Amino acid sequence: MKLHRESKGTITVASLLFIIISALSIYFLEMWSLVIILPLLVVYSLVFWFFRVPNRDILDHKENVIAPVDGKVVMIKEVEEDEFIKGKAIQVSIFMSPLNVHICRYPVSGKVIYKKYHPGKYLVAWHEKSSTENERTTVAVESLTNHKVVFRQIAGYVARRIVFYCKEGDDAKAGHEFGFIKFGSRMDVFLPLDTEIVCKIGDITKGGLDVIARMKED
């Protein structure tokens, strides 16, 4: 199984803790140490599972808006996007549990025209205010259909580290990685009002594969 590059520090710490706690348990508890070691082994295995990088065949897209993460669609509504679009947009929000793949992918192809990191709170990721009050990043892409699409990584109550690798001027390719969030969070995508939304609340998405909307060429 291939592991994400963001896993190195976490897995090193988890491995040291697993070895130390297991050794102490065996020394002091002998056979009863299994009561501690077996659940600890499950948690240790889940750390590796969290950082997995699945093999996915990413296609080329123009009008399609691709799910940027694995997760569950929890919001589709018209909102005011005040940071970059500065006007009305359709917001599609996808919540990720700690068991989902946490690679963040471009939802559309085009050119990166804006990026910004915002420090903030750590409200639970499904809280509506987390989009504007939590630690987050904002990225905007000028799409191949000549639309400005904004998407936002949002830290949650558990997720305390957001990473994004893109720079202004980079080519964005729908379905390809631009960042990573550790341990449960949310992604918001802000789309033009005339976008055809093809997902619905409650849908389970596969990042890089599932089409969540289609934009008309401008």
For residue 130, the model assigns a pLDDT of 61
Q: Give me 15's structure tokens.
A: 């491995």
pLDDT means per 10 residues, the chain with 218 residues, are: 89 96 95 95 92 94 97 96 96 92 96 93 62 85 97 76 92 97 86 97 97 90
- CATH level 3 topology of 64-214: Glucose Permease (Domain IIA) (2.70.70)
Catalytic residue chosen out of the listed positions 7, 93, 109, 185: 185
Contact of 139 with 113, CB cutoff 8 Å: no
Contact of 141 with 106, CB cutoff 8 Å: yes
pLDDT, tens digit (0-9, with 9 covering 90-100), for 155-171:
876 555 789 999 999 99
Contact of 81 with 132, CB cutoff 8 Å: no
Total number of residues shown for the chain = 218
pTM: 0.89
Which uninterrupted H or E stretch holds 80?
A: strand 71-81
Extents of the domains making up the chain: 2-53, 64-214
For residue 185, the model assigns a pLDDT of 83
> Residue type for 113, please?
I
For residue 133, the model assigns a pLDDT of 74
**Quick count: other Cβ atoms within 10 Å of Cβ 3?**
15
Annotated catalytic residue 185: yes
Residue 66 φ then ψ, to 5°: -100, 145
